[in-house]
Amino acid sequence: MLPRCCILIICLLNTLSLPVYASVNLTLPHQHPDPEAVVKELHRRVNVSLSRREMLSNTQEKDQVSCLTGNPIDDCWRCDPNWAANRQHLADCGIGFGRNALGGKGGPIYVVTDSSDPDPDNLKPGTLRDAVSQTGPLWITFSGDMLIKLKHPLMVTSFKTIDGRGANVQITGGGCVSIEHVTNVIVHNINIHHCVPANSDGDGLHIFGSTNIWVDHCTLSDCADGLIDCTEGSTAITISNNYFFHHDKVMLLGHSDDYVADRGMQVTVAFNRFGEGLSQRMPRCRFGNFHVVNNDYTGWDMYAVGGSASPTINSQGNRYIAPSNPNNKEVTMRLDAESKEWAAWNWRTEGDVMVNGAFFVPSGDGLDAQYAMASSLAPKSADFIDQLTLNSGVMLANGGIGVGISSPTSGTGGISGGGSGGGTTVPNTPGGTYGGIQGGTYGDPTGLDGYYGMIFGSSASTLQASYQTCIILSALMILILSILLTDYAVFWPCHPYNC
């Protein structure tokens, strides 16, 4: 019979082997089925974290740290706590093809104090119509919240800035904002909605034969025709940081397939959020060169980006979230042309993120040289879309943002700046949530703790259960071994060396 010390040694070795079982167990609970995806996600989150830390490390003031988003326009002026005392600095923050728009820079400040809309032939001091009709540079602000119901199109003259920062300014009614045959106009932080025809088509904002125009941080919805139309030779235009929702024909860039003067049109569409209830034309382009960069598309009924008459469309760093309708997954649409014709049009997708089955049909020869006239700024990674479009649309004086978007507080709101608490569920995206860095918070910029938890589960309870199982198995092994050794002693005589 084996000595009892052998039995004790066997039991001891079995007990010591428990940590080994745990260490060599290659089938961890909740193990991710695609390890390569884990590595890619880790790299993405680390890159996002490092980028944000770099931005924060370059800033000294706490207020500035809290406001940085990576959006070059907003970071240019919003991080200055005294921006209201230096409003005209906004004109230095432009990007894209419309970056040289001066607006009313260098001119006096005109404060609108009266929300009424007088007859265009009988101007009333203190009204917006009086302000935009003045000659020379003028920087127009508002004394407080206003709902301006237009009776006629608001004709804006050259070198004007309509600056709605610090107030909730809404423009509605007949014709809305018309920028015709002028130059150097900035429209900023205005809510334009429910515009109807009045000696006009009823566009929210119509840019006609004009140059050096910048439309930034406006909210546009529910107009009779387009929300923004740029036609008849207009060029050097930037449309940025706007929020569009509840509309059919969102944005027209180019007058008609016969208006060849639009060949010189150059428009940047950047950092916008195309929200709920939109159908088509985001934008619809003709002839010219169009840079569609770092926008967030949350769906469409017909298509997102379309055109005719051989426009050049450079789509970079956008996020396209297709609708649920299986027949409307394509981002693009060529109009009024057979495939043998549009196959030569220069349309490309570069660095775009396609979600929920979205797909972009490129065309042309794909050479970079073909897109030189349609490149207006360096695109950022589509991973930063939530930060870049964090404050799209009108920003209210209390720190909120305009109609259709909730205030961007942590974990809530239409576009959240981090965390997984708020937002809309987006199919086929890591983590399944929309808004911010999925799974992370500002306290944990990378969100890695939550991600590892998703991969490996909660280790405490699992390891405890495994340990208990091993103890039970060990007891059973000891019992079986004891029985076998007893049988061995009964059926075999003692050997002289161990009796």
Whose structure tokens read 């075999």? 492
Catalytic residue from among 281, 284, 334, 348? 281
d(C-alpha 68, C-alpha 56), whole Å: 7
The token duo for 478 is 């000891």
The token duo for 75 is 């970071």
DSSP bridge pairs for 320 = 297, 354
d(C-alpha 409, C-alpha 364), whole Å: 43
d(C-alpha 353, C-alpha 292), whole Å: 13
Sheet holding 353-355, edge to edge: 146-150, 169-174, 191-196, 219-221, 243-245, 273-274, 296-297, 319-321, 353-355
8 A C-beta contact, residue 242 and residue 42? no
The token duo for 454 is 């998703």
d(C-alpha 233, C-alpha 225), whole Å: 20
The DSSP-derived string for 469-493 is HHHHHHHHHHHHHHHHHHHHHHHSP
d(C-alpha 99, C-alpha 93), whole Å: 8
The DSSP-derived string for 77-106 is HTT-TTGGGGGGGGGG---GGGTT--TTTT
d(C-alpha 261, C-alpha 174), whole Å: 29
Q: Where are the beta strands (DSSP E) in 271-346?
A: 273-274, 278-280, 284-286, 289-293, 296-297, 305-308, 312-316, 319-321, 332-334
- Side-chain half-sphere CA neighbours of 203 within 13 A: 23
8 A C-beta contact, residue 312 and residue 371? yes
**99: annotated active-site residue:** no
Q: Where are the beta strands (DSSP E) in 121-227?
A: 138-142, 146-150, 154-155, 160-163, 169-174, 177-180, 183-188, 191-196, 205-208, 211-216, 219-221
Report, as residue numbers or ranges, the catalytic residues.
281
